[in-house]
Amino acid sequence: MRADARRNHERLLAAAAAVFTEHAADDVSLEEVARRAGVGIGTLYRHFPTRQALLEAVYKDQAEALHARALELLDSPSPIEALVTWLRAMIEFGATKRSLSKSLMATLGKDSELVSMCSTLIREGATPLLTRAQQAGEVRADTDTTDLLRLSHAIAVACEHASPHADQADRLLSLMFDGLRSSAPGSATPDRLGSKSDV
């Protein structure tokens, strides 16, 4: 791909991701994506012949970016900050993902090669960051990658609703990590707390 064509390709992906975050993917016109990218509709169709091709490309690009970001963060001096930074990016992706998922699942299905590949990329990004934070004693040892991804998904869903807090995602992420942090020896964790009948 020539340099100018590559730049247009990247602009279209970025513009589409932004528009899909703001509106349901099925409601977005491709003309709006082209306008946001600063290119003509003909340029968009040369890169993405169909709406489906654009949806799949955005989904794949976002998953690859998350994986690449995770690899970068493995060199961060603070394992917990690296994990929080990556999860913040994951939550931002969640807004785009929810917009795309309905359209993609209707045509591809949850067991499609694309969806499976993207899920694998995201998990392969999250797992070493989590393991590093656990080895540093900063995150509970009983936390797994599925926990992290489900919690970040829940935050992304929660942030779709109006909130009095402008920093709602960061607030919820902070609360989530209060529960995930390793406790000092002898302190109460959920498995040590008594049931109501014990109180």
Q: Read off the pLDDT of each residue in 55-79 and give the average, rounded to a whole number.
A: 94
Tell whether 79 and 92 lie within a shared domain: yes
Tell whether 92 and 18 lie within a shared domain: no
Higher pLDDT, 77 or 184: 77
Q: Read off the pLDDT of each residue in 112-124 and give the average, rounded to a whole number.
A: 91
Residue 181 backbone dihedrals phi, psi, to 5 degrees = -65, 145
Number of domains observed in the structure of the chain: 2
Is 190 contained in some domain? no
Count of Cβ atoms closer than 10 Å to residue 191 Cβ: 7
- Note the pLDDT tens digit of each residue in 35-46: 999 999 999 999
- Note the pLDDT tens digit of each residue in 156-186: 877 776 666 557 677 888 878 777 877 643 3
Tell whether 117 and 22 lie within a shared domain: no
Tell whether 43 and 121 lie within a shared domain: no
Count of Cβ atoms closer than 10 Å to residue 9 Cβ: 20
Tell whether 41 and 97 lie within a shared domain: no
Tell whether 40 and 114 lie within a shared domain: no
CA distances from 48 to 9, 23, 128, 156 (A): 9, 19, 34, 28
Q: Read off the pLDDT of each residue in 82-110 and give the average, rounded to a whole number.
A: 80
CATH number at residue 86: 1.10.357.10
Q: Mind giving me the DSSP string for 45-68?
A: HHH-SSHHHHHHHHHHHHHHHHHH
User: 44: domain range?
Assistant: 1-49
